[in-house]
Structure 1
Amino acid sequence: MQTRTFPQVEADTGVTRQVLADSPELMVVAFTFEKGARGRRHSHPHVQSTYVERGLFRFFLGEEAFDVGPGDSFVIPSGAEHGCECLQAGRLIDTFTPRRDDFL
């Protein structure tokens, strides 16, 4: 098995992104947020699972808003509009299926 190391890139103001692992069927990505940084509302055709490694976040999924912290996880369906606000600096581990080729 061949492994690759991906660079950490600025995804938005106060947010960095690093691909941790990928295959055509699945991708794991770490997002690191400064307090107050936002993940802009968006949607994509991928199913996304989010795990909160550290920090506190307010997520928006459609019309719903909910707060999550370390150890929490949830799934965002394909095509659902979502975004977040970082309430306490932290890191999210997102898994996408299929792979987000736009992150490569």
Structure 2
Amino acid sequence: MEYPIKSTGPGVTRQVLAENSDLMLVAFRFETGAKGDLHNHPHVQATYVESGRFAFFVEGTEHELGTGDSLIIPSQANHSCVCLEAGTLIDTFTPRRADFL
């Protein structure tokens, strides 16, 4: 199944790559300077930096990640990110983010 690319804000797009009720795989593409606003959700999230450089903020702690790095974001943790160098994040969510469909 092919999922559409959707704009999620200035300089950011999201595309579901695969999903079932237990797990979802999503690509987020960022332009330099674009932001993922502060939010939380009940899903556990694993983020893999396919390309680019990002500053993540998880519960007030900063993590700078580059190509090949990854990070786990616990359920309900407040988190955001800023793209330092244009790139793509590959995120997994468990369970599936029904709001992305």
Q: TM-score band, normalised by the shorter chain? A: over 0.9
Q: Under a length normalisation based on structure 2, what TM-score does the superposition of the two structures give?
A: 0.99
Give the unaligned 5+ runs of structure 1.
Answer: none
Give yes or no for the alignment of 1:57 onto 2:54: yes
Q: 2:91 aligns with which of 81, 94, 98?
A: 94
Question: After TM superposition, where is structure 1 displaced by more than 4 Å over at least 4 residues in a row?
Answer: none
Q: Secondary structure at the match of 2:33?
A: coil
Give yes or no for the alignment of 1:45 onto 2:42: yes
Alpha-carbon distance in 1 for matches of 2:32, 2:97:
26
Partner residue, 2:32:
35
Alpha-carbon distance in 1 for matches of 2:71, 2:44:
11
Provide, for residues 28-86 of structure 1, a one-character-per-residue CA deviation record: whole Å limited to 9, x for no partner: 00000000000001000000000000000000001101100000011000000001000
Q: Report % sequence identity.
A: 58
Give me the CA root mean square deviation.
0.4
Give the unaligned 5+ runs of structure 2.
Answer: none
Q: Which amino acid aligns with 1:41?
A: L
Give yes or no for the alignment of 1:80 onto 2:77: yes
Aligned residues: 101
Partner residue, 1:11:
8
Q: Under a length normalisation based on structure 1, what TM-score does the superposition of the two structures give?
A: 0.96
